[in-house]
Structure 1
Amino acid sequence: MPRWSDYTTGERIKILRGKGIRQSDLAEITGLSLPTVQQAEQDKRLTLPTLMKLAAALRVDISVILGQQGPRRAMEHADRTTMRDLSCAVHDMAVGLLPEDISAPSAVELRQTLDRCWELYWKGNYVEAGAVAALFLGEAGAHLHAQSADTASEAWGFVADAYRLAAYVANLMGSRDLAYAAIGHAQNAADRAADDMRSALVSSGRSWIYLRDARLPEALALAEKSAVDIEPRFSKATVNQLVAYGSHVNFAAVVASRMGDKDKAANYLSQSHATGARMGAEYRAHGTLFGPVSATTQAVGVNVALGQTGKALALISSIKDVSTLSGAARNRYAMDKAMAQADAKMFDASLDTLEEALVAAPAWARHQALPSVIVQKVGRASTARLRRVSELIGAAPAGSSSFLPATAKTAL
């Protein structure tokens, strides 16, 4: 598989342009002539002013076009545009810069927009969720500026929610620096809102960023603290409190499993199952969804991570209906199920599960690493099906060098 630096500059421009943007479109966006764009992609002529215009239009650094660093995995033009806009919104909001044409919405309107943001996020529509989150940050800021000192606490809560959502999108899209910045601003806003629940939610979000950044000890310590901080008395707990607590202990189990700590993972899974059983059904609150099905499907992934394939398969056989889960949660469960099947050498079943999820949610799958891991694990077990699934994710089957990166396949 060629490295990013192995392509010529012209080939890299063509790859970044992708199938969704024609050469004529790129010429119109940049203000360059069509022959200039064609010559750049043919490595015939590329001046610095042209290079700068192309980089701005393609939403990448100049160093990416020159091959000095690779583009983020599976990022298309729309992804890069969203992340650039979201980054501007996060950093501008942090220094008090708001869009000039924005008016202050009411608290009711903000709650409706926030619900819409989370709905998009949990459907796996991360690009659209990021675009709406960028707008929501500006609206939350305008609402805050319109409040008096006596009414600012609730407004700071909206700001914390906006930053947390931005951090989640950035983390999933691989923009780790932006995720760290956004979650830091979310923590400051939650503190100023004087809201213990929001502070715990933000801390759990930071723990997730640590997890994806391979900072496992810090992730576990923070996940455990977040769960303890909001542990309710079950006899008096509201549904919203149980949603928050159940999702927190669930995540603590995930982090413990990544560290190979079977005892801690089992303990947190026990608390998760008890919380789900107490609820009796799935409920949505605080930007998340939790209930008995969430507890069981998450336990599948925990047992897969711990190498306990038999337990994972037993749980899978007990799960009859996942329709109450969010789209993203269903997709993640499908990945864990496919991995368990691959570990059990049920290769055809694994590929069937994986292919079904990839076809159903291609936009979600582009931002996940697990499909490629599953394909590599299955190896050469089923050539026709394996090649078909590999093409869906733009990955090469084990031992193959005939596939280009996902970004390259769309244009070359």
Structure 2
Amino acid sequence: MSDPTIGQKLKRHRKTAKLTQEQLAERAQVSVEIVRKLEQGTRRSARMDTLHALARALGVATTALIGDATEAAARAEPDHRPLSLAGIRRAIAPVRGLDGALLTAPAGDPPTLDTLAGRLRTVDRTYQRNDYATALAELPPLLADVQAAVDVTPDRERPAAYALLARTQHLTGNLLIQLRAGDLAQTALSGALDAARASGDQVVAATVIQGMTWLLMRQGRLAEAAELAVHTADQVEPRFSRATPGQLAAWGWLLVGAAAAYARDNQPGTATDLVDAAQAAAVRIGERAPEPGHLMMVGGFDPGRVQMARVENAAVAGDPGRVLDLAQLVPPGPTPVGSSWQRHRLDVAWAYAQRRQYQESTGVLLELRSLAPAWLRQQRYARDVVETIVDGRRRAMSDEEAELASLVGCPL
């Protein structure tokens, strides 16, 4: 027997609360059509922010509303031509024979670890620029070369090789999360964690866990995401007097990830406490000289990123006024971790739209379209904001607004 659907769980909790569909929609500030379609089964999925708003209105954990959405998972995303994932699939799940050898291994000797690290830095910068097509083209051969290097590296250098493999697979997992290829992302991140453990590098391992936390939240597994992030943060909590910037950043990212999960699971007090703790780590990093060679998550943690987390939690709580107030304290971007800045700006666009400041909201979205079109088209959040603008505007859409709606897959 299959698990109850989201709609079935929603209906049960609504009846327990003795609310009509209209009353629930009003409390949650969502369309009554969303409530009706979910309960009728004509709509089998909803954005996490919508489920969170419904959970707040019902006084239950968001996870109490998450049910079977297998039919919804089979539905296509907006009809943009998908980037091919065949090459990256072969790279993260290569075919091996009975003896464990790769069916098709790179010819010749692999490049040196220094050369491979340089290539990884280049791909990381490409990813942070939101050039996903180039990153997808460059990652498969890099993954193959790094794996080949691990296989031939002398024992004394093997930990460094495994750390490089972990970082490469971590970046691959992050990219796949952005492209909503969740199963492939899980494969990449699981491989990254195995390699990180083999390297003995706790900072690398902790940043991989932060990526896994992000993936779990995308999958609606909020309680697991929070538990994983907090448990790992407890394991790696640094002594501030001796900690390196990398150790502080890895710990801080875990706290921010846990806060995001708790906020979405209707536990704002816990989320606030975790962000406050992350702030202390960010301030301490600011007092220390950064280590050279940072990649990905470790290099992008600072007080500005923590302030973005406060803004995000205010958006999750449905408070547009607080979002705009807190956003004034975020330093101007973009930031080294591009997706963090872009997600923050979506929160600002959402807040403007909720306050019927449609021109300001559109301006933020057009800024994002110019900066990161490949990223923006993957964001369901952006589609929801555009739909709010389209539904609320009383005049005809401009050409720019129509192009924006087309980019994010919003029906006109």
Same fold flag (TM > 0.5): yes
**For 1:268-293, what per-residue CA distance to the aligned partner results, in whole angstroms no more than 9, with x for missing partners?**
11112222222338968342211111
Matched, 1:302 2:313: yes
CA distance in 2, matches of 1:165, 1:396: 24
TM-score w.r.t. length of structure 2: 0.73
CA gap of 1:324–1:371, structure 2 versus 1, over 3 A, is closer
CA distance in 2, matches of 1:382, 1:316: 28
Matched, 1:388 2:400: yes
Matched, 1:372 2:383: yes
CA gap of 1:87–1:234, structure 2 versus 1, over 3 A, is same
Give the 3-state SS of the residue equivalent to 2:93 in structure 1: helix
CA gap of 1:89–1:324, structure 2 versus 1, over 3 A, is closer
CA distance in 1, matches of 2:335, 2:142: 27
TM-score w.r.t. length of structure 1: 0.73
CA distance in 2, matches of 1:170, 1:321: 27
Matched, 1:339 2:350: yes
Give the 3-state SS of the residue equivalent to 1:252 in structure 2: helix
Matched, 1:105 2:116: no
AA partner of residue 389 (structure 1): E
Give the 3-state SS of the residue equivalent to 2:107 in structure 1: coil
Matched, 1:217 2:219: no
Contact 1:74 1:367 in 2 (8 A): no
AA partner of residue 293 (structure 1): G
CA distance in 1, matches of 2:351, 2:244: 35
Structure-2 residue corresponding to 1:88:
90
What are the ranges of 5 or more consecutive residues in structure 2 without an aligned counterpart? 1-73
Structure-1 residue corresponding to 2:45:
none
Q: Which moved more, 1:208-217 or 1:291-300?
A: 291-300
Cα deviation, residue 122, structure 1: 1.7
The RMSD of aligned alpha carbons is 2.6
Structure-2 residue corresponding to 1:363:
374
CA distance in 2, matches of 1:96, 1:312: 53
Contact 1:269 1:299 in 2 (8 A): yes
CA gap of 1:271–1:396, structure 2 versus 1, over 3 A, is closer
Pick the aligned partner of 2:213 from 207, 211, 214: 207
Contact 1:90 1:137 in 2 (8 A): yes
Matched, 1:248 2:254: yes
CA distance in 2, matches of 1:382, 1:132: 46
Give the 3-state SS of the residue equivalent to 1:131 in structure 2: helix
Cα deviation, residue 320, structure 1: 4.7
CA gap of 1:247–1:138, structure 2 versus 1, over 3 A, is same
CA gap of 1:334–1:226, structure 2 versus 1, over 3 A, is same
Contact 2:106 2:144 in 1 (8 A): no
**For 1:236-279, what per-residue CA distance to the aligned partner results, in whole angstroms no more than 9, with x for missing partners?**
22222222222221222111111121111101111122222223
What are the ranges of 5 or more consecutive residues in structure 1 without an aligned counterpart? 1-68, 404-412
Structure-2 residue corresponding to 1:46:
none
Cα deviation, residue 215, structure 1: 1.1
Give the 3-state SS of the residue equivalent to 2:94 in structure 1: helix
Matched, 1:285 2:294: yes
Cα deviation, residue 91, structure 1: 0.8
Aligned positions of 1:175-190 closer than 5 A = 175-190=181-196
Q: Which moved more, 1:297-306 or 1:373-382?
A: 373-382
AA partner of residue 348 (structure 1): Q
Quick one: percent identity of the two aligned structures? 24
Aligned positions of 1:222-241 closer than 5 A = 222-241=228-247
AA partner of residue 76 (structure 1): R
AA partner of residue 185 (structure 2): A
Contact 2:320 2:351 in 1 (8 A): yes
Contact 1:102 1:139 in 2 (8 A): no
Contact 1:201 1:226 in 2 (8 A): no
CA distance in 1, matches of 2:286, 2:192: 32
Give the 3-state SS of the residue equivalent to 2:356 in structure 1: coil
Structure-2 residue corresponding to 1:259:
265
Contact 2:111 2:149 in 1 (8 A): yes
**For 1:330-354, what per-residue CA distance to the aligned partner results, in whole angstroms no more than 9, with x for missing partners?**
3222111101222233222111111
CA distance in 2, matches of 1:274, 1:343: 32
CA distance in 1, matches of 2:207, 2:121: 16
